[in-house]
Amino acid sequence: MASMISFSAPTPGGAQTVSLSYERTGAGDPLLLLHGIGHHRQAWDPVIRLLAGERDVIAVDLPGFGISPPLPREVPYGLESVAAVLSGLCEALEIERPHVAGNSLGGLLALELARGKLVRSATALSPGGFWTEGELRYALALLGALRKASLSTPLPMIERLSRSAAGRAVLTGIIYARPARRSPDAVLAETLALREATGFESTLAAGRTVRFTDDVPDVPVTIAWGTRDLLLPRRQGVRAKHIIPGARLIRLPRCGHVPMSDDPALVARVLLDGSGRRR
């Protein structure tokens, strides 16, 4: 069951009170899970049970996504601000330097937290920030089109589409390599999450200038990329390896941009291995 917590976060513009929704389960070293843009913490549901036997798992709705309210008006949706909010969340939950894993935007945030030495390890699944200008324009246009479609499609039609494998492919085939594996309820919920995300436009706008260009020499980093990623091509993983030479680069066969439901066992093993690395 989700919990909501309010806390003071040291954002670049000064301390601000922020509220975030999260779900916590399991036991062991803490592992913070961060979803991608337009998604919600339930993106991790396929792997939560596999992780919870060995990790204290904290899955978060990022600001303005899922049921987390948007950031205060004074706080921009930039990488530095959201990383500061996540650091404040960990402090509020009395978690000191957790392991972190993220997908897409969440993967970029995981690497930003690692760059700031705020985490013990970082595992990034198809992280943003390693694109060319053309690849970024393509990704932003595709994400914008998905958002527009979710807003313009009548709810009864979304419900009907979610009930068939072909319909689930229409709704989520861009982000999953195997959309039929997602349940009708999950596809409906995540389509509504995209539709209702109050932080979507601000986050998308902030991403237009984001590049990850720094090495992360002092924190173990794992980068994994699906071979069927249609949003961020897997060649970006090679660039990420050049920028972070010490990172472990892993190929996820037959997985899309959001690989957790495409191959839950493989992704769980990558996350457990990544959060078990020491430096």
105 and 162 inside one domain: no
CA distance 163 to 159: 7
- Higher pLDDT pick, 1 / 157: 157
Structural domain contains residue 121:
yes
- Whether 30 and 83 share a structural domain: yes
Residue 276 φ/ψ, nearest 5 degrees = -105, -5
DSSP code per residue over the chain: --EEEEEEEEETTEEEEEEEEEEEEE-SEEEEEE--TT--GGGGHHHHHHHHTTEEEEEEEPTTSTTPPPPPTTS--SHHHHHHHHHHHHHHTT--S-EEEEETHHHHHHHHHHHTT-SSEEEEES-SS---HHHHHHHHHHHHHHHHHHHHS-HHHHHHHHTSHHHHHHHHTTT-S-GGGS-HHHHHHHHHHHHH-TTHHHHHHHGGG-------TTS-EEEEEETT-SSS-THHHHHHHHHSTTSEEEEETT--SSTTTTSHHHHHHHHHHHTT---
In this structure, is residue 234 part of a structural domain? yes
The answer to whether position 18 is within a domain reads yes
Same domain as 224, residue 123: yes
With 90 as the cut, is the pLDDT of residue 264 above it?
Answer: yes
Q: Residue 198's pLDDT is what? A: 97
For the cut 80, the answer to whether the pLDDT of residue 278 exceeds it is no
Mean pLDDT of 156-161: 97
For strands 221-226 and 29-34, give the pairing: unpaired
| Domain of 100, in residue numbers | 3-132+209-274
**What pLDDT does residue 6 have?**
95
User: pLDDT tens digits, residue range 169-202?
Assistant: 999 999 999 999 999 999 999 999 999 999 999 9
Confidence (pLDDT) at 108: 98
User: Is-contact 226 177, C-beta < 8 A?
Assistant: yes
For residues 63 and 16, state if they share a domain.
Answer: yes
Average pLDDT estimate for 122-135: 98
In a shared domain, residues 10 and 113: yes
Q: How do residues 63-116 score in pLDDT, each as one tens digit?
A: 999 999 999 988 889 999 999 999 999 999 999 999 999 999 999 999 999 999
pLDDT at 107: 98
> What value does the mean pLDDT take over residues 56-63?
98
What are the pLDDT digits (tens) for 213-234? 999 999 999 999 999 999 999 9
126 and 140: one domain? no
- pLDDT in the model for residue 119: 97
Domain count, the chain: 2
- CATH number, position 216: 3.40.50.1820
pLDDT score recorded for residue 74 = 85
pLDDT of 10 above 70: yes
| Closest among 217, 189, 230, 248 to 66, alpha carbons compared | 189
Q: What is the pTM of this model?
A: 0.96
- Would you state the pLDDT for residue 83? 95
pLDDT bracket for residue 57 (50, 70, 90): very high
Please report where in the chains the tokens 């990172």 appear, as a residue.
247
Residue-level pLDDT at 11: 77
Return the closest-CA partner of residue 87 out of 75, 77, 74, 96: 96
279 within domain boundaries: no
Q: Which residue is it, tokens 């980068």? A: 223
Say if residue 127 is in the same domain as residue 224.
yes
Which of 40, 34, 58 shows the shortest CA–CA distance to 122?
34
